Structure 1
Amino acid sequence: MITFDDVSVRFGTFEALPSFSLHIAEGEFFTLLGPSGCGKSTALRAVAGFVDLSAGDVRVGGKKVTHLPSGKREVGMVFQNYALFPGMNVRENIAFGLRAQKRPGSEIDRRVNEIADQVDLSQEQLVKGVAELSGGQQQRVAIARALVMRPKVLLLDEPLSNLDAKLRRQLRSQLKDLQGQFGITTVYVTHDQDEALSMSDRIAVLDRGRIEQVGTPEEVYERSASEFVCTFIGEVNRLSPRLVGALAARGAPELDPAESTYVRIEKVGLVREGRPHRGPSVRGTVMSRTYHGTHSVYRLRTEHDELRAVLGDGDGPHLAAGQEVDLVFDPASLMRYRGASAAGGRG
């Protein structure tokens, strides 16, 4: 549905996207994920026609749109601040694009009413000013204004970032449900890993304008293709060469202390003293515990490293500071990389 074919975007001497190639399938909820300044919003705006390409082409539905004005690309865009018109009520905001196309009044009314019902905006809300609505309702107005134009593609540029944490979690599932209801190809830009993992069919992780990995949420989390992806997504422990060597000597000979080796904190097994376990392990001492409701995160000291590990709320009594435990590792869950250390994204 959307193809970036060797796209380059420059702003003066700065190359925001160097040789960017990517294909997004029809009907996908696809997320561009990365730190601030990594090029994800630039890629989205290249599809929308809001930035000029220095090289390459963008195609939507097989049609080259590189030089088409944004209004003729059949894409709808929802901005971070929603970009609603404060002097218009909700109905007028949703109808704006249709009026610009000089559609008949009866068609405008019908399509606005249909889309309002589909995004759960009531007739009472349609006559309100946008300032009278909550952040979540304003987001639905912005989505309705985009979808009423019946675009082939919906582009979402960090639409949840201005909302509080509880509302963000609530609206994630609503956004995903809406996308499934309409079946529209959706490209979502965020720096929030939880949003990307919970909402996406596939994710492209970007760093400094380059794609580090494209895959399902499970693939980028469980089998991170690069050290950058591994350290950017989720919480990880980096194992020291001494610890890697100890594990290699205790039943994991495939491990190499010369490699950069990581394990996600929930993949570290914690076994109370005296209990049997399988797999290479080291002895550790509990230093502290942080309670998170459904689980606790423990900080532990071994003779080689300080590490973090997770226990679920139903996994037995809490561990006390000073208590000794065995830290058990499954070699298959360790992520290993050769070469330079991970580089951070641009700020």
Structure 2
Amino acid sequence: MTTVTLHDLRKEFDDVVAVNGIDLEIVDGEFLVIVGPSGCGKSTTLRLLAGLEDATGGEIVMDGRDVTAVEPKDRNVAMVFQNYALYPHMTGRRNITFGMKSSGDFTDEAIDRRVGEAAETLDIADLLDRKPQAMSGGERQRVALGRAIVRDPDAFLMDEPLSNLDAKLRIQMRAELAQLHTSLGTTTVYVTHDQTEAMTLGERVVVMNDGRIMQVDEPQTLYDFPANRFVAEFIGDPAMNMLPVDIENGTAVHDAFAIPLPNADGGLRNGANGDGDVPIRDGRRAVLGVRPEDLYLATERPDASGETLAATVDVTEPLGDSLLLHCSIGESPCKIQAKPRSDIRPGDTVSIAYDPARLHCFDPESGDAFYHSESDASSESVAAAADQGR
């Protein structure tokens, strides 16, 4: 196991800045997930950690040792690739053991023992004598994991290892990866574009965009207290609704509604401007954020208190466990999750209630969050997350 620190790490390709001066500490034994859209710099960051790319600037430190200019073979990390990277003419056993003698001081007995242990851990003993063409996608991925495990690395680096699997197998492999990490306890950095993978696997999650870190935090904190609009819209499916408003007397005023903001007199929750909890300035423009699952048909929650909003249904999407309504509130689009068997049709006008503890406000220019209505947010921790995005 090892601690990894990135300080002002930067990578440029000609006129493209892929990684733009990021700072990050990965603690010993942590399962850290880096997530973001295509082109955000997450895979480049992983390749910099592995030594497959040379950093343009900054440093990478592993357990106090600067490895920024160290060759990949001397970093004692193991990488699991998206495409498995198995040799088609070799058996599973040969793929797992290939290069072990040249990259480390392993005897034949030690290699056999490690292969046996990895095969037992991953349940691939029956695959050791097969070639990749005789294996399914999930089996190939297990063999690729076995190749990483036998080297007993200081850190596992995983680059979208499940993206080539079908949906059902991805769910199964997610659970197996989590169990594997619990068993081995090795520091793991996992890159994905899939926010569901990020939320279910990561002990902490790094959200990246345009080569920068937007926020680093535990999955639930990312969901509950996003530091900026990008994180709010990227984490969660369907994405958070964003409605333009003006703040007047502690109320979010839209052309079609006026929603009082609880604790608006001291409701600055993320300290985005460095001031901690301060009153929200009256008269400022804002973007009100509310998740579809925090909106519901007033008829489905007759006990709910507070204001209701009038919405026109444009499209309905049956999802089995819920009915997703694409609506218009005034001129603003909005998604709402209703109960699965609700008798709602396009063109209907519905009355919408909301959870007053789950409201968010973002600056329309910078995108920084300046208000979360839920009072359990830690201003200090979310402010630190917001600073990562700068």
Q: What is the TM-score when the length of structure 1 is the normalising length?
A: 0.90
1:239 corresponds, among 230, 239, 243, to 243
Distance 1:26 1:94 in 2: 26
Post-superposition offset of 1:83: 0.8
Aligned counterpart for 2:295 among listed residues 255, 260, 268: 268
Q: CA RMSD in A?
A: 2.4
Equivalent-residue separation in structure 2 for 1:273 and 1:31 (angstroms): 37
AA matched with 2:67: V
Q: What residue is the counterpart of 1:72 in the other structure?
A: 74
Rounded to whole Å, the distance in 1 between the matches of 2:57 and 2:349 is 59
1:280 aligns with 2:288: no
Match of 1:135 in 2: 137
Report deviation, 1:162. 1.2
Counterpart residue number, 2:155: 153
Q: Which residue of 2 aligns with 1:109?
A: 112
Looking at structure 1, the residues matched to 24 and 105 of structure 2 have their Cα atoms a distance apart, in angstroms, of 36
| Contact 2:285–2:364 under 8 Å retained in 1 | no
Q: Report whether the alignment pairs 1:193 with 2:220.
A: no
Q: How far apart, CA to CA, are the structure 1 residues paired with 2:342 and 2:320? A: 12
| 1:97–1:145 contact (8 Å) kept in structure 2 | no
Equivalent pair of 2:257/2:309 in contact (CA under 8 Å): no
Structure 1, unmatched stretches of 5+, are none
Instruction: Give the one of 333, 337, 343 matched to 1:319.
Output: 343
Q: Which residue number corresponds to residue 336 of structure 1?
A: 361
Asked whether 1:229 is paired with 2:231, we answer yes
Report the TM-score when normalising by structure 2: 0.81
Q: Deviations over 1:27-62 (max 9, x none)?
A: 111011111111111111111111111222111122
CA contact (8 A) 1:53 1:66 kept: yes
Could you tell me whether the CA contact under 8 Å between 2:252 and 2:259 is conserved in 1? Answer: no
**Contact kept? 1:231, 1:342, Cα under 8 Å:** no
* SS class of match (1:245): strand
Q: What's the offset of the Cα at 1:218?
A: 0.9
Please give the secondary structure, in 1, of the residue aligned with 2:226: coil
- Deviation of 1:257 after TM superposition, in Å, equals 6.8
Aligned match of 1:13: 15
Q: How many residues align?
A: 339
**Aligned residue for 1:53?**
55
CA gap 1:176/1:274 in 2 versus in 1, 3 angstroms: closer
Q: Deviation of residue 236 (structure 1)?
A: 1.7
**One-letter amino acid of the structure 2 residue matched with residue 116 of structure 1:** A
Gaps of 5+ in 2: 265-279, 369-390
Equivalence for 1:252: 261
**3-state SS of the aligned residue for 2:38?**
coil
Question: Structure 1 runs of 4+ off > 6 angstroms?
Answer: none
Question: Could you say if the C-alpha distance between residues 19 and 341 of structure 1 is closer, same or farther in structure 2, counting changes exceeding 3 Å?
Answer: closer
